[in-house]
Amino acid sequence: MTIEQSEAILTQNNAQETSFGEQSESRIYDVIQGLKSKHTKIAYRIAFNHFLDETIKSKDLRTLLDTKKNVVESKIIDHITYLKDVEGLTYRSILVHLSAIFHFFEINDYDDLKRRKIKRFLPEDESEHYGRDRPYFIKEIEQILSKCDVRDKVAILIMLSTGMRIGGLRELQIDNIKKIDEYQLYLIGVYNRSGKARYYTFCTPECAVAIDEYLEYRKRIGEQLKDKSPLIRDKFGIENYFKAPRFLSIRAISLLFEEALKKAGVNQLKPGQKKREVMRSHGFRKFFITQCDRSGMSFTVREYLSGHQLPNQDASYIRTSEEDRLAEYVKAIPLLTIDPTPKLRQENAELRKDYLAELGDLRHDFNEMKQLLVHLSKESQKQLVDEFHQKVGDKADIEWSCD
């Protein structure tokens, strides 16, 4: 249910109130009212609707608020049990659902619920798992990408080369990306519609190529790409490409990742295993941060590019430029690149650069020696020539004589 639909339902709940006085006394506040973050609104809306659908079995908020407190508490406990035993949600996931429910009753001045009693029915907090899980290995990512279509490949490459969260991925528009030709990569604006949360990051040249191929495919098929079009749109066929492209929901992106993992046979739960070795989507973010750290990227730049807030007063005093951040990101490109072909090209280019530099030094030494030979005897010339050949070996093909 969208925010607009929920407001329509709320209007129906309040429709019976006619006078200003009556309306102010019995107005029902929706679960998203009083919240500032758009992402919190979405999470609370989904969680509270789930409570109404699965446990209350009704959208009638007036009746819910008129229900006795002990009955409401019992319903909330039943819902926790359902989420835990039937849906298999963890402590942290259920806590989001519970926070949404508590917020609704609190904002509507419902008598204080016995929160400590209710929270006793939560499952054990196994958050230490967050310290045991790992990022994806490059071989695993290669397997995953090999089973992806052009769209899903873009989504995964963006996640692992930018460290972006799912919430940022789903909001990306075409005008949020800007090509940096010097490095053949994109600068990507994240959460651009949010004043406080917005930031930018970069993607690898490998990811930029995938984005270009995906957008070119959409243009070829007949879609009219606009600045506000979703960068990653919903699935479509040749017969219905003309339909207005829609942004993916967080659930749709999660399913996208799950399907890719299943096809590749990567990160699947084994019999008797409760948790994955790698967190499904967060594993890509961990890969990004780990590889950036291995590359020697500046800590403050790494934190900024991954969308973390800087600790203490750093955010107020550290003002690195876009050029500084880009220079730091470039260090990590080889470690963030999955396809081995670009890596080999870069390694060969670096080896050739080193070879040419060394060859230049040898030519310089040769020219200096040639100047000395003019003033030396034949015997001394021969001795210097032999020493020079021993130094050069087969690294250069330089012809010269003592005559």
Residue 17 contacts residue 26 (beta carbons within 8 Å): yes
pLDDT at 23: 46
pLDDT at 88: 81
Instruction: With cut-offs at 50, 70 and 90, classify the pLDDT of residue 18.
Output: very low
- Please state, in angstroms and rounded to a whole number, the distance separating the CA atoms of residues 366 and 291: 43
Per-domain residue ranges of the chain = 3-127, 133-338, 354-392
pLDDT digits (tens, 9 = 90+) for 42-77: 889 999 999 999 999 999 999 999 999 999 999 999
What burial class does residue 208 get, using C-beta atoms within 10 Å of its C-beta: 0-12 exposed, 13-18 middle, 19+ buried? Answer: buried
Instruction: Specify the higher pLDDT residue, 160 or 39.
Output: 160
119 pLDDT exceeds 60?
yes
Residue 167: CB atoms within 10 Å? 17
Q: How far is CA 163 from CA 131, 140, 211, in A?
A: 18, 17, 16
CATH for the stretch 133-338: 1.10.443.10
Residue 369 contacts residue 375 (beta carbons within 8 Å): no
pLDDT at 263: 94
- Percentage with pLDDT > 70 across the chain: 77
- Please state, in angstroms and rounded to a whole number, the distance separating the CA atoms of residues 373 and 393: 20
Residue 95 token pair: 């806590």
Residue 333 contacts residue 204 (beta carbons within 8 Å): yes
Q: What's the average model confidence in pLDDT over 255-267? A: 92
pLDDT digits (tens, 9 = 90+) for 331-383: 999 999 998 776 665 665 666 676 677 777 777 777 776 676 666 656 666 67
> 17-26, 97-106, 298-307, 358-367: which has the minimum mean pLDDT?
17-26
pLDDT at 400: 46
Q: β-strand 185-190 against 177-180: which pairing, if any?
A: antiparallel
Q: β-strand 185-190 against 199-202: which pairing, if any?
A: antiparallel
pLDDT at 379: 61
- Looking from the CA of 239 toward its CB, the CA atoms found within 13 Å total 0
89 pLDDT exceeds 50?
yes
pLDDT at 235: 81
**Among residues 396, 371, 369, which one has the least CA distance to residue 383?**
369
- Percentage with pLDDT > 90 across the chain: 53
Instruction: Specify the higher pLDDT residue, 240 or 80.
Output: 80
Q: What's the average model confidence in pLDDT over 177-197? A: 91
Q: What's the average model confidence in pLDDT over 192-212? A: 91
Q: What's the average model confidence in pLDDT over 25-51? A: 88
3 pLDDT exceeds 90?
no
pLDDT digits (tens, 9 = 90+) for 301-318: 999 999 987 766 565 566
The pTM for the full model equals: 0.65
Instruction: With cut-offs at 50, 70 and 90, classify the pLDDT of residue 5.
Output: low
pLDDT at 326: 95
17 pLDDT exceeds 60?
no
192 pLDDT exceeds 70?
yes
Q: What's the average model confidence in pLDDT over 86-98? A: 89
pLDDT digits (tens, 9 = 90+) for 263-304: 999 988 888 777 788 888 889 999 999 999 999 999 999 999
- Mean pLDDT of the chain, nearest integer: 83
20 pLDDT exceeds 70?
no
Instruction: Specify the higher pLDDT residue, 205 or 348.
Output: 205
